[in-house]
Structure 1
Amino acid sequence: MKKEITIYDIAANVGLSPTTVSRALSNHPRVHETTRKRIMDAAKSLGYQSNIFASSLRKRKSKSIGVIVPRLNSPFQSSVLAGMEKIATQSGYNLIISQSMESLDKEISNTAIMYNSRVDGLLVSKAGTTDDIGHFQPFFKKEIPVLFFDRAPENNHCTGVVINNTQAIYDATEHLIKQGCKRIVHALGNLQINVYADRLKGYKYALMDHGFVFNSENVISIELDEEAGERIVKKILKMHPRPDGLLVSNDTSAASCLMALKKRGIRVPQDIAIVGFNNDLISRMVEPHLSTVNYPSYHMGEVAMKNLINHLDDEHEEILQKTNTITLRSELIIRDSSKRHPDPI
């Protein structure tokens, strides 16, 4: 292995003191621009790498923020991360990103790695199997801010950035009822995950408020992936009477359902009206276009990152403790996959 280039090597190369070289590399104002350029050019030609970790120890700030998400291959999480990255870059912070793969053990491991990496703060969307958040105690004890987004723990000691999932699905269910649907199926993810449990509440409330009796047979709890459509549609086709409305808790799976229904000659929305969730790009790429709940994922990433960085930069330790929940607005977007009646004039 080649010898690591140090500031002493650069100093010898340019004929200046190590102190001057160190100041130039850290953009100290006392170093003349011509001298700084000469030093920077020498550093580049010699292959010098700055020791960011050592610098962070001296400053007691790593300028890094950890992010833990359930899965990186989610359009929703990708959009959230894009919003976070924008704000972090503007504020001079770097992101360290990991995924829990919906595993509590993996989340615990990721949390320990983030702590040992000395991140300045942590943003987390919980894994599906996470009930106890005790593995975040090292952060709490050291007063390193932790902010949860999308999937936030249900206690009063953690700040979360969320939407009102109950109201979002209530509105979607009510829309299908107003379109004349009599038997509405709700396909959603693991009910141990609080966002899906909250959506199920909204579905139940809307049915009850409109005189329908809740039937647990109309709830399909399933892994919501690209292949979910076939599995959901096979279950639907075994139901009697056949459902005429379908709520699916993400757009990828909703689009998969739409294609599986069309393949079997079942018309959308005439035979079954469909509403998805998230307003992902795929909702505008299938025919008919999917009605969906607009989940402001990019904005959620921006809001979560802004709140964390404001706390870090302003050093107001009470900010994250006083603001327990930030609820963003969602919106039902009605498109052709669920419109059975013309809009009122």
Structure 2
Amino acid sequence: MFEPVTIKDIAKALGLSTSTVSRALRDTYEISPATKKLVTDYAKQIGYKPNPIALSLKERRSKSIGVVVSEVANSYFSQAVDGIESIAYDKGYHVIISQTHESYEREVINVNHLASRSVDGLLVSLSSQTSDISHLKSLHDKGLPIVFFDRVADEIVTHKVIADNEKGAFEATDYLIKSGYRKIAHLTSSSYLSISIERLSGYKKALAHHGIEFREDYVKYCPHGGMLYEETETAIKELLALKDKPNAIFVAGDRLSTGCLSVFKNLNVAVPNDMAIAGFSNSDVLDLFNPSLTSIRQPAYEIGRLATEMLLKIIEAKYPIEEFEKKVLDTDLYIR
């Protein structure tokens, strides 16, 4: 069993009181230089390391932040996590990542576990099944710093960092229309997610801009955001079964885009001859797909960095922060 050296051990060995040793190690002015040197030399010699848990109890800081995402395998989130870590480690914070796999239950368990591990703050991107955010609201009300990125909750007043989802969706749909398609379906995640609402709005605006009527039966929701192959397959089969079936699809997510291509392959639907597709995706793997798909890329790395900077500002603020902002970053259309 690993037994770390404690301040008590040093005090006993040097015949000093624990408070004297503690002050000497903290380098306070009340201790004479000679005693300080004696204590620090001995501490070095025996490999004394301050206990981070004891320190965090004393300072009320654990120097760690919790991150809640749907899955790290999703290229958007892996890039965002890179951005989060680049800032956190520079500032001496550890990052604890947890995945919800788009499950509300898991999100609640993960959030409460991170809070009980006394993280200094949370960076959250909601799961596609989360419509009730009381688990986050109660922690936020108790003073736990929380910053949302990508999938945000309007009810909680804090910093939020998102991509310009509406503009991105408009551009992708507009691209399909300009490529000659007028029967464009929309495949998206759960209806109440902030990104779904914003992307649906951009899709509708592009149709209206070109005088194309919006059709409710052309919109398909996948409540698990593409995590379940069957769900994506069912949605596409329903579109293909329509009497006036679409000839293009605008897909509103990373997981859904690659899932959609898999379904087409298995159903022998030729892209773009039978069905054209444009979607939101940060995956570099798309370049290897044949046929590929034109995609909207989000500045995931930048979103991660910015959200972390904002969170650390709240954590390290001397006074409660009253002013919060929602940062909206630009997206790019990658035509393949």
Deviations 1:131-159 (A, max 9, x none): 34333344444433211111111247232
* Residue 40 of structure 2 is aligned to residue 39 of structure 1: no
Structure 2 distance, partners of 1:285, 1:316, is: 50
* Residue 290 of structure 2 is aligned to residue 291 of structure 1: no
Deviations 1:246-304 (A, max 9, x none): 11222443234334435655432233221121321222221233211111111111000
| Aligned match of 1:339 | none
| Aligned match of 1:90 | 90
Partner letter of residue 157 of structure 1? V
Partner letter of residue 44 of structure 2? M
What SS does the corresponding residue of 1:68 show, helix, strand or coil? strand
Q: Determine what percentage of the aligned residue pairs are the same residue.
A: 32
Question: Please, what is the CA RMSD of the aligned residues?
Answer: 3.1
Contact kept in structure 2, 1:226 and 1:252, CA below 8 Å: no
**Matches for 1:237-316 after TM superposition, within 5 Å:** 237-262=240-265, 266-316=269-319
| Aligned match of 1:161 | 161
Using the TM superposition, give the Cα deviation of residue 88 of structure 1 relative to its aligned residue in structure 2, in angstroms: 0.5
What SS does the corresponding residue of 1:158 show, helix, strand or coil? coil
* Residue 335 of structure 2 is aligned to residue 334 of structure 1: yes
Contact kept in structure 1, 2:257 and 2:281, CA below 8 Å: no
Using the TM superposition, give the Cα deviation of residue 314 of structure 1 relative to its aligned residue in structure 2, in angstroms: 4.0
Structure 2 distance, partners of 1:306, 1:297, is: 14
1:262–1:123 Cα change, 3 Å? closer
Structure 2, unmatched stretches of 5+, are: none
* Residue 123 of structure 2 is aligned to residue 120 of structure 1: no
1:324–1:125 Cα change, 3 Å? same
Partner letter of residue 227 of structure 1? Y
Structure 1 distance, partners of 2:257, 2:126, is: 23
Using the TM superposition, give the Cα deviation of residue 76 of structure 1 relative to its aligned residue in structure 2, in angstroms: 2.0
* Residue 180 of structure 2 is aligned to residue 180 of structure 1: yes
Partner letter of residue 136 of structure 1? L
| Aligned match of 1:213 | 213
Contact kept in structure 2, 1:67 and 1:98, CA below 8 Å: yes
Contact kept in structure 1, 2:286 and 2:292, CA below 8 Å: yes
Q: Structure 1-normalised TM-score?
A: 0.81
Q: Structure 2-normalised TM-score?
A: 0.83
Contact kept in structure 1, 2:128 and 2:189, CA below 8 Å: no
Structure 2 distance, partners of 1:69, 1:260, is: 25
Structure 1, unmatched stretches of 5+, are: 336-345
Q: Which has the higher contact order (CA 8 A, sep 6+)?
A: 2
**Matches for 1:192-207 after TM superposition, within 5 Å:** 192-207=192-207
Paired residues, what number? 327
